[in-house]
């Protein structure tokens, strides 16, 4: 057994108590008590949380549950931006900082709740003036700037449904999302900054919207000097667009179940699916977790390193923290540019108290060495978070020791685009077990079960499920009811998360990975079929199969097996051409790290590629049942 693996197993048995002082001051001090409150009366539990927020009209009923369809805070009327902005501006937080923003060059911006409020209101009015109405879809394809957050909120203000596309996706991926959502508008920027370079975005949008009649306008935030040209009648400068708009926009009165946003995520099919979240429940769920999982208090400086292009950014940069009135750090660019000290220098500079990041980043910093964080004063930190993929015990211990100085609890938060908010972690005084995410947060009944839904024995592998509806759950999949229903009928009566997990004697859940054909690269979900479709659209490729392989930093990396067309022969050049092709089709995230040319792929008799056989062979493991293999 390798030393690393041994170390991992040793740490798996470790139990670390959260610091007493932390527990004494926590918003909720006792997990068991809080969980019991929920179990005793789930509806009362959630009504109490919802009552802390503003509603034009209160709900008639907390929950209407017709499996698999849920309605939360039935007939309640609200607008999430009133809770995220107006409520604070009117209650003494007008000059409170909402965002300390900076880019890689040290350009800074301090945005108060008051100024964010004005920006959002003006943009909301501009959207209205441009004919955007409640229910219309707006695609946002922007860098990590305050205007991106404002664009999301402006849509929410008028009831338009935003679909944010991460600015690392390429033309066809963006085009698919714009077309599938039938977006009327795209809001973008000229460029994003990465490693000291400007990476153009607008050209990508220009190509992606070409010939799409549904797109009436493209709003462009122009940051470069001289300013990039705007082309045709559709394109307009961001600040020109809002220049004459009124500074107050009456919020649209939204029904609790009106859609708030859609967000595409990868699954086991060739095309990503548009997950739909609605207003009231999502607002209540993300707000509650901000206060409990992240223990947010008035004076905290909170930093989530995600991008709003992913669900983590939606729930824990935009909606959760702003509804809870947080002050946040927002940093554009790479974590290790100009050097591996960047993030730690920002924690020191802003006095960050709550820090939320991904295991892949932690492992990268682990490799770079402790001397980087040691150069900076990290004593402001009081709570650390992790999300996106399993955090191995070594990385957990390093994070705890080197960054948190053994003072800060770590919340390893398991959740998904579909769940909207954190579902499993260790909160409110629960002892921590490195490598195990923990227990279901109050409001969630989670379990590890077999195919029929029966709980498996402690420490045996099974499927991770949720047994009850929760406020921030997705409500459907855009134009795909069957897909939505499949989450709730794969294992009868339970929400099937698509992950495999174990549960120990104390009820701590450890996530082992995906149960389906989804690869998790650096915490980002990539569908094997999406990469395979991209590969077979290359003129030299006849067939392709893609698997995930363990990677010490990224968690998993992509390996592709490719059958070439007649007359084509393997070469280094072809490998590069295939990688480039995937980058153009999908984006840099989806590029395979390894490509192997083969003559044959293992298939079932009905012609389906058996990826698990490829994976087992690759990793030297037992391939399991081969009875359906073609030959
Ligand atoms: O496999 C799980 C993994 O990420 C998947 C969800 O991906 P996505 O919808 O992109 O959302 C990521 C951020 C919330 C899950 O099905 N995952 C997420 N968090 C964890 C995790 N795996 C293990 N531990 C986690 N804390």
pLDDT tens sequence across 342-390: 999 999 999 999 999 999 999 999 999 999 999 999 999 999 999 999 9
Q: Is the pLDDT of residue 128 over 80?
A: yes
Spatial separation of the C-alpha atoms in residues 599 and 564, rounded to whole Å: 8
Ligand 1 mean position, distance from CA 388 (Å): 4
Confidence of residue 1 (pLDDT cuts 50, 70, 90): very low
CATH of domain 518-619: 3.30.300.30
**Please, what is the Cα angle at 117 between 111 and 120, to 5 degrees?**
100
Are the beta carbons of 421 and 9 closer than 8 angstroms? Answer: no
Are the beta carbons of 363 and 314 closer than 8 angstroms? Answer: no
**Measured between alpha carbons, how far is residue 575 from residues 59, 412, 499, 592, 611 in Å?**
58, 37, 32, 10, 21
* Burial of residue 415, with CB atoms counted within 10 A of its CB: 0-12 exposed, 13-18 middle, 19 or more buried: buried
Choice from 388, 464, 503 to test ligand 1 binding pocket (greatest atom count within 8 A of CB): 388
Q: What is the pLDDT of residue 7?
A: 61
Which residue ranges does the chain devote to CATH 3.30.300.30? 518-619
Residue 497 phi/psi, 5-degree rounding, is: -80, -20
Which residue ranges does the chain devote to CATH 3.40.50.12780? 80-255
Q: What is the pLDDT of residue 428?
A: 79
Q: How many CA atoms lie within 13 A of 506 on its CB side?
A: 14
Percent of the chain at pLDDT > 90 equals 91
pLDDT per residue over 442-491, tens digit each?
999 999 999 999 999 999 999 999 999 999 999 999 999 999 999 999 99
Fold of 80-255: Rossmann fold (3.40.50)
Q: Is the pLDDT of residue 8 over 70?
A: no
Ligand 1 mean position, distance from CA 379 (Å): 29
Choice from 356, 410, 411, 415 to test ligand 1 binding pocket (greatest atom count within 8 A of CB): 415
Q: Is the pLDDT of residue 526 over 80?
A: yes
- Ligand 1 proximal residues by C-beta, below 6 Å: 265, 311-312, 387-390, 412-417, 437, 497-499, 511, 514, 520, 525
Residue 337: both structure tokens together? 């540019």
Confidence of residue 588 (pLDDT cuts 50, 70, 90): very high
**Measured between alpha carbons, how far is residue 205 from residues 136, 174, 179, 229, 521 in Å?**
19, 8, 12, 13, 25
Residue 347: both structure tokens together? 């924690």
- With a threshold of 0.85, tell me whether the complex ipTM lies above it: yes
Torsion angle, alpha carbons of 529, 532, 538, 540, to 10: -150
């Amino acid at each position: 057994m390798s030393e690393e693996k041994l170390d991992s197993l040793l740490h798996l048995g470790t139990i670390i108590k959260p610091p007493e002082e932390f527990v004494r001051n926590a918003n909720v001090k006792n997990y068991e008590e809080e969980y019991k409150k929920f179990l005793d009366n789930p509806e009362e539990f959630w009504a109490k949380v919802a009552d802390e927020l503003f509603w034009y009209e209160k709900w008639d009923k907390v929950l209407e549950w017709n499996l698999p369809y849920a309605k939360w805070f039935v007939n309640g009327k609200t607008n999430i931006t009133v809770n995220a902005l107006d409520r604070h501006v009117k209650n003494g937080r007008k000059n409170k900082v909402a965002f300390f923003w900076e880019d890689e060059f040290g350009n800074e911006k301090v945005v108060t709740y008051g100024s964010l409020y004005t920006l959002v209101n003006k943009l909301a009015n501009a959207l209205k003036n441009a004919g955007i109405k409640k229910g219309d879809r707006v695609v946002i394809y922007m860098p990590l700037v305050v205007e991106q957050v404002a664009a999301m909120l402006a849509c929410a203000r008028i009831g338009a449904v935003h679909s944010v596309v991460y600015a690392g996706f390429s033309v066809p991926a963006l085009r698919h999302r714009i077309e599938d959502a039938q977006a009327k508008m795209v809001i973008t920027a000229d460029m994003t900054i990465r490693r000291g370079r400007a990476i153009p975005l607008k050209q990508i949008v220009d190509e992606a919207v070409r010939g799409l009649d549904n797109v009436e306008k493209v709003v462009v935030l122009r940051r470069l000097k001289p300013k990039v040209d705007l082309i045709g009648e559709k394109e307009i400068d961001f600040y020109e667009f809002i220049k004459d708009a009124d500074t107050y926009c009456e919020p649209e009165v939204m029904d609790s179940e009106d859609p708030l946003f859609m967000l595409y995520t990868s699954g086991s099919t060739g095309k990503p699916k548009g997950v739909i979240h609605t207003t009231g429940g999502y607002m209540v769920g993300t707000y509650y977790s901000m206060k409990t999982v992240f223990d947010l208090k008035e004076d905290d400086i909170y930093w989530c390193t995600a991008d709003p292009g992913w669900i983590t950014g939606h729930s824990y940069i935009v909606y959760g923290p702003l509804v809870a009135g947080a002050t946040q750090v927002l940093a554009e660019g790479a974590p290790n540019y100009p050097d591996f000290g960047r993030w730690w220098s920002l924690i020191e500079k802003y006095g960050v108290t709550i820090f939320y990041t991904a295991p892949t980043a932690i492992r990268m910093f682990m490799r770079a060495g402790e001397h980087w964080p040691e150069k900076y004063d990290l004593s402001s930190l009081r709570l650390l978070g992790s999300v996106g993929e399993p955090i191995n015990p070594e990385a957990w211990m390093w994070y705890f020791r080197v960054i948190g100085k053994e003072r800060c609890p770590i919340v390893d938060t398991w959740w998904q685009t579909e769940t909207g908010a954190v579902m499993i972690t260790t909160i409110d005084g629960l002892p921590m077990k490195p490598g195990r995410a923990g227990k279901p947060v109050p409001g969630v009944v989670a379990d590890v079960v077999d195919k029929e839904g029966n709980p498996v024995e402690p420490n045996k592998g099974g499927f991770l499920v949720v047994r009850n509806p929760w406020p921030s759950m997705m409500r459907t999949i855009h134009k795909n009811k069957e897909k939505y229903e499949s989450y709730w009928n794969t294992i009868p009566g339970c929400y099937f998360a698509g992950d495999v997990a174990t549960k120990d004697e104390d009820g701590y859940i450890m996530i082992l990975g995906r149960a389906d054909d989804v690869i998790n690269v650096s915490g980002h979900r990539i569908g094997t079929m999406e990469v395979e479709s991209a590969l077979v659209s290359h003129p030299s490729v006849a067939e392709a199969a893609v698997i995930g392989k363990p990677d010490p930093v990224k968690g998993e990396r992509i390996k592709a097996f490719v059958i070439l067309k007649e007359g084509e022969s393997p070469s280094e050049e072809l490998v590069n051409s295939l990688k480039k092709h995937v980058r153009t089709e999908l984006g840099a995230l989806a590029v395979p790290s390894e490509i192997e040319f083969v003559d044959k792929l293992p298939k079932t008799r009905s012609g389906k590629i058996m990826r698990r056989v490829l994976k087992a062979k690759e990793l030297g493991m037992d391939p399991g049942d081969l009875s359906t293999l073609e030959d």
